[in-house]
Amino acid sequence: MGDTNFAYPGSVYTVESAAGILQAIKAETAKAFIGQENLVDHALITLLAGGHLLIEGAPGLGKTLLVRALAAAIGGDSKRVQFTPDLMPSDITGNIMLDTAAGKFITKKGPVFTNLFIADEINRAPAKTQASLFEAMQEFQVSLDGAAYPLPRPFMVLATQNPLEHEGTYPLPDAQKDRFLMKLMADYPGVEEEKAMVDMVLRNGTGAELSVTAVSQAVGINEFEAICTLSSQIRADPAIIDYAVRLVRATRELSSLDAGAGPRGSLALIRCARAKALLENRNFVLPDDIKALAKPVLIHRITLSAESELEGQNESRILDGLLARIEAPRS
């Protein structure tokens, strides 16, 4: 067992104090975004791990509200772009333009220069526009006219996508899917959650607006970045790393898949597991952390074979089979 009161070298937080702040962030977020705790946890884990989140589901499930509430709770900024077929890369990254009054070129930064960037219905834009996020998601910078501009930290892309059978959608390139730390399926809230949400929204407004005024700042943005650094110091035993790598490598050996997960999948599993451990007030990763995160981390990194699709297989069932077959280390 670990010592949650231990302060890592260079950190102003102990695991216990950081976990307390993370719970406060969740509590503040819940003042605007009711229910779907699993979605809130995964969004916070992704942000802690310095990654990006892809959410698939129907419109109107509060994904934008979640990001705005989360940004308010950490003292950060958020911006949203609606992806459409005519959206241009410069509409996201910005451009260099001539200031006629001053007689010189100026840099106009795009909406991606924020802490939490919402790419709404990302698969409604063509591949050229989707690719404009590659550099931002991987290198946390944007190049404009040969100069690199760093993005604010922390930085996370939360992208939503419609199911591919919807009209007017484009499949995400594999290179972009691999840059998302996790993929989640957004579901409708439960009956009691939906009643509580309707009551809260209509009590003080018309319901047409997305208000986060009830959310208080639980931590400063610089302090949250320090907690993200602490997350990267959570201990992952060699046996845990071996388990994560065995799971990922097993996806490359299945005849039911045309493509398995690459090395980014192994890295993503450990990064997310460390963040989950910190969220749960632990300074060590458990095998159960890997099991709980394997599907959202790997489901978008594997590709079914045509035969498997015809047989009615899906990625979720295949990963369930792997988790049942691959032996986990003892806690």
Using CB atoms within 10 Å of the CB of residue 152, give its burial: 0 to 12 exposed, 13 to 18 middle, 19+ buried. Answer: middle
The residue whose two tokens read 């509580």 is: 196
Q: Would you state the pLDDT for residue 201?
A: 67
Options 1.10.3720.10, 1.10.8.80, 1.10.580.10, 3.50.30.50; CATH of 236-331: 1.10.8.80
Using CB atoms within 10 Å of the CB of residue 92, give its burial: 0 to 12 exposed, 13 to 18 middle, 19+ buried. Answer: buried
Q: Is the pTM of this model over 0.85?
A: yes
Planar angle of CA 62, 65, 71, nearest 5 degrees: 145
Instruction: Please say whether the dihedral angle defined by the alpha carbons of residues 192, 197, 203 and 208, taken in this order, is positive or negative.
Output: negative
Cis bond leading into 154, ω under 30°? yes
Query: In the chain, what are the domain boundaries?
Result: 15-233, 236-331
Planar angle of CA 153, 158, 164, nearest 5 degrees: 155
Tell me the three state secondary structure of residue 62.
Answer: coil
120/123 Cα distance (integer angstroms): 9
Tell me the three state secondary structure of residue 159.
Answer: strand
Provide the residue-wise pLDDT of the chain in tens; the chain has 331 residues: 566 776 666 668 899 999 999 999 999 998 888 778 888 999 999 999 999 999 987 776 677 888 889 999 999 999 999 999 999 999 999 988 877 777 777 888 999 999 999 999 898 888 888 888 999 999 999 998 888 999 999 999 999 887 765 566 777 878 888 899 999 887 777 787 777 777 776 666 545 555 788 889 999 999 999 999 999 999 999 999 999 999 999 999 988 888 889 999 999 999 999 999 999 999 999 999 999 999 999 999 998 888 888 888 888 999 999 999 999 998 6
Question: What CATH code is assigned to 15-233?
Answer: 3.40.50.300
